[in-house]
Amino acid sequence: MDIQTEMTAPPLSGGLDPAQAREAADAVRNAIYRATILLDSQKWDEWLALCDENFVYDIKAWSPEINYDMTYLHGSRKDLEALIRLLPKHNTDHSPLTRHTTVYTVDVADDGATAKTVSAFIVFQHLLDGTNSHIDSGESRLFLVGKYYDTFRIENGRALFTSRETRLENRRLDKGSHWPI
Amino acid sequence: MPARNHTQWMATPPLQKGEWVDSRVYTDQEIFDEELEKIFKKAWVPVCHESELPKAYDFRTTSIANEPIIVTRGPDNEVRAFLNVCPHRGMLIERRPSGSFYEGQPSGNPKRMTCMFHAWQFDMKGNCVYISREKEGYQDRLPKENVGLRRLRCEVKFGGFVWVNLDDNPISLEDWAGEPFQCLRKTLEAEPMEVFHYHKAIVDTNYKLWHDTNCEFYHDFMHYHNRVTGFNDAYFARKNESFEHGHIVVGTFEVNYDQYEGFESRAGLSFPHLPPNQWYMIDLFPGMNFNLRGSALRCDVVTPLGPNKVMIEFRGLGLKSDTPEERQTRINHHNSIWGPFGRNLHEDLIGVQGQGTTMRPGQEPRRILHGRQENQTIHDENGMRHYYDEWGKWMNRSPSNPELPYSAPAIAAE
């Protein structure tokens, strides 16, 4: 069996027509990749436009140091709107971040109205002004590694994020970031 | 004054001795090596919190001044610390950051610390209890009593933090930090606390530059919420109080979170015996910070890695008795400002890394000014002056010229 097909094909149980299921899965997949490009481009408002009014965002990590499932950032859509609005007022490391996202699984609900996905991501940081730009700018570093656990509402062929759990593998985060991941 | 030439740039500033330091205290390898020996191997360091090893046989590993350390909780519930070094051939006994010895390991038995290399085993008190093929190899020449672990001074105190000192005969922990903790003692010791946040940053800067940032609030201007919405008379009136041994405490005031754009009030959740929205900060020599702001307690601990490299461990704590909702609120409050994706911590770390960029080994020494005098309130730099006076005593070096022996500053360190 083709592993790629098995990993990404939506479950065909229930009453959903296979073609509709594929269409829903495609919409979900497109939303994840579009979100990646918009986050990379720092088009924060356009990224939020991909999200439902009740969207909830988390950055989490399991700590084997303290044996605790940690939440590094939690916010509703309203919280994120405020966070984004204030970004220009902060002193920030402006080194661009780019994400390499791969959608692993898409599970569309039987009624075709919701979906859950698991994607892997790697975030690279392309140094600009974080340290000594004369020496360091132009260097790319691995910044974050983890998985996105996303949920969606699907309506009229469009998939809207209802939640994103950004789960990090690395916990040495050095200066961190002001930006959603 | 226009921009200065090199001679003017290097001239002594028109301030009194003690109001600036020579940047070699941040860049010199010899001074750094000496700091590990003279300061970090003799100071009390809060290496973790007791909630990180809640059950008998739990352990946590850490290090001070390059020396690997293991902290264990024995079946008697006592927390003890040892060098994490096998007395046989120097192998690191435990490699994991945390865990339990309750279960056996591939090379050893349950309830034992086992060196995986040659299966020597130690109990939770550090006694050597098993040497593999002991009789065959050592006959009766090396009794187990002679090869116990190196025990370290260890106390659980000031809100359940686990304090370790590499010196066998240090000043008592109570005498070391009891006075600065007095302002929060009742609060921190009312009921058990629990760590809910941990992350670390390794930053190219000197450890003292991080502690400096924790010792002054003049860098308020770096943070949007502080410079725009946080300032009022009560904010500026807080005192930066100095204590013996180089410690300082910043007194409290009531934070008006409703004036913070994008933040909710924290009045609904506090700590025992503490009115809502209070903010206390305790800075301990040589680089530990306890910051209780409303609903969350933050603790920073520095591990110097080189003149221009420091690891900072960040912890967030709430009450063990928190409901899930209360805990989530504390986490959100802590991380919205102090988390790795929060508003202020990122800026603080950019700031000290920028200092680290201009103060690297081999760079021209220059004066770093600590001369603000504002009646010992939070934009005064008396906290740093107090710290460097203590540093000079421990190192027997003058902070303003580290090639010279320590002498008291022209103005007394407040």
Tell me if B347 and A83 make a contact (CB, 8 A cut-off). Answer: no
User: What is the pLDDT at residue A14?
Assistant: 59
User: What is the pLDDT at residue A56?
Assistant: 98
B102 and B209 part of one domain:
no
Return the residue of A nearest to B202 by Cα. Answer: A174
B124 and B265 part of one domain:
no
Within 8 A of B339 by CB-CB distance, chain A residues are: 72-73, 176
User: Is B407 a member of any domain?
Assistant: no
Contacts (Cβ under 8 Å, ≥6 apart) of B151? B80, B81, B82, B126
B193 and B149 part of one domain:
no
User: Is B11 a member of any domain?
Assistant: no
Instruction: Quote the tokens at residue B340.
Output: 């790795």
Domains and CATH numbers, chain A: 3-168 (3.10.450.50)
Cα–Cα nearest to B269, from B200, B340, B323:
B323
Within 8 A of A93 by CB-CB distance, chain B residues are: 346, 350
Tell me if A68 and B196 make a contact (CB, 8 A cut-off). Answer: yes
Within 8 A of B161 by CB-CB distance, chain A residues are: none
Partner B contacted by A66 (CB < 8 A):
yes
Q: How far is B296 from chain A (nearest CA, A)?
A: 14
B384 and B293 part of one domain:
yes
When pLDDT is averaged across residues A59-67 and rounded to a whole number, the result is: 97
User: What is the pLDDT at residue B295?
Assistant: 93
Within 8 A of A173 by CB-CB distance, chain B residues are: 199-201, 340
Task: Tell me which amino acid residue B352 is.
Answer: V
Domain enclosing residue B145, as ranges = 45-154
User: What is the three-class DSSP state of A142?
Assistant: strand
B111 and B260 part of one domain:
no
- Domain ends where: B154, B172, B201? B154
Confidence of residue A79 (pLDDT cuts 50, 70, 90): very high
For chain A, where are the E strands, in sequence order? 51-63, 68-76, 97-108, 114-126, 140-155, 158-168
User: What is the pLDDT at residue A131?
Assistant: 83
CATH (domain of B235)? 3.90.380.10
User: Is B171 a member of any domain?
Assistant: no
Residue of B343, B345, B350 with shortest CB distance to A130: B350
Return the residue of B nearest to A177 by Cα. Answer: B341
B139 and B82 part of one domain:
yes
Partner B contacted by A133 (CB < 8 A):
no
Domain count, chain B: 2
User: Is B140 a member of any domain?
Assistant: yes
Partner B contacted by A88 (CB < 8 A):
no
Q: How far is B381 from chain A (nearest CA, A)?
A: 23
- Domain ends where: B154, B171, B197? B154
B235 and B278 part of one domain:
yes
- Interface size A-B, in CB pairs within 8 Å, comes to 117
Does residue B402 or residue A14 have the better pLDDT? Answer: B402
Q: What share of chain A is helix, strand, coil (3-state, %, to 5)?
A: 30, 40, 30
**Pairwise CA distance, residues B32 & B308, whole Å:** 9
B282 and B329 part of one domain:
yes
Task: Tell me which amino acid residue B226 is.
Answer: N
**Pairwise CA distance, residues A124 & A145, whole Å:** 9
Interior/surface letters B121-140, b for 16+ CB within 10 angstroms, e for the rest: bbbbbbebeebeeeeeeeee
Within 8 A of B261 by CB-CB distance, chain A residues are: 82, 86
Tens place of pLDDT for every residue, chain B, 414 residues? 799 999 999 999 999 989 999 999 999 999 999 999 999 999 999 999 999 999 999 999 999 999 999 999 999 999 999 999 999 999 999 999 999 999 998 988 999 999 999 999 999 999 999 999 999 999 999 999 999 999 999 999 999 999 999 999 999 999 999 999 999 999 999 999 999 999 999 999 999 999 999 999 899 889 988 887 667 788 888 999 999 999 999 988 777 666 666 666 677 899 999 888 888 999 999 999 999 988 999 999 999 999 999 999 999 999 999 999 999 999 999 999 999 999 999 999 999 999 999 999 999 999 999 999 999 999 999 999 999 999 999 999 999 999 999 998 876 655
Q: What is the pLDDT of residues A138-163, one digit of tens each?
A: 999 999 999 999 999 999 999 999 99
Tell me if B203 and A181 make a contact (CB, 8 A cut-off). Answer: no
Tell me if B346 and A67 make a contact (CB, 8 A cut-off). Answer: no
Return the residue of A nearest to B98 by Cα. Answer: A65
User: What is the pLDDT at residue A1?
Assistant: 33
Q: How far is A150 from chain B (nearest CA, A)?
A: 19
Tell me if A65 and B331 make a contact (CB, 8 A cut-off). Answer: no
Within 8 A of A172 by CB-CB distance, chain B residues are: 199-202
Query: By the 8 A CB rule, do B209 and B66 touch?
Result: no
Within 8 A of A132 by CB-CB distance, chain B residues are: 357
User: What is the pLDDT at residue A6?
Assistant: 40
**Pairwise CA distance, residues A44 & A52, whole Å:** 14
Confidence of residue A15 (pLDDT cuts 50, 70, 90): confident
Cα–Cα nearest to A174, from A112, A131, A117:
A131
User: What is the pLDDT at residue A5?
Assistant: 40
User: Is B14 a member of any domain?
Assistant: no
**Pairwise CA distance, residues B200 & A73, whole Å:** 16
B298 and B374 part of one domain:
yes
B65 and B193 part of one domain:
no
Q: What is the mean pLDDT of chain A?
A: 92
**Pairwise CA distance, residues B130 & B137, whole Å:** 13
Q: How far is A27 from chain B (nearest CA, A)?
A: 30
Residue of B261, B335, B343 with shortest CB distance to A72: B335
Tell me if A175 and B200 make a contact (CB, 8 A cut-off). Answer: no
B192 and B258 part of one domain:
yes
B385 and B302 part of one domain:
yes
Tell me if B200 and A172 make a contact (CB, 8 A cut-off). Answer: yes
Within 8 A of A68 by CB-CB distance, chain B residues are: 195-198
CATH (domain of B131)? 2.102.10.10
Query: By the 8 A CB rule, do A130 and A106 touch?
Result: no
Q: How far is B50 from chain A (nearest CA, A)?
A: 10
User: Is B364 a member of any domain?
Assistant: yes
Query: By the 8 A CB rule, do B71 and B59 touch?
Result: yes
User: Is B270 a member of any domain?
Assistant: yes
User: Is B21 a member of any domain?
Assistant: no
Q: B199, B305, B334, B337: best mutation site toward chain A, by most A Cβ within 10 Å?
A: B199
CA geometry: angle at B345 spanning B274 and B295, to 5°?
Answer: 20
- Domain ends where: B109, B134, B154? B154
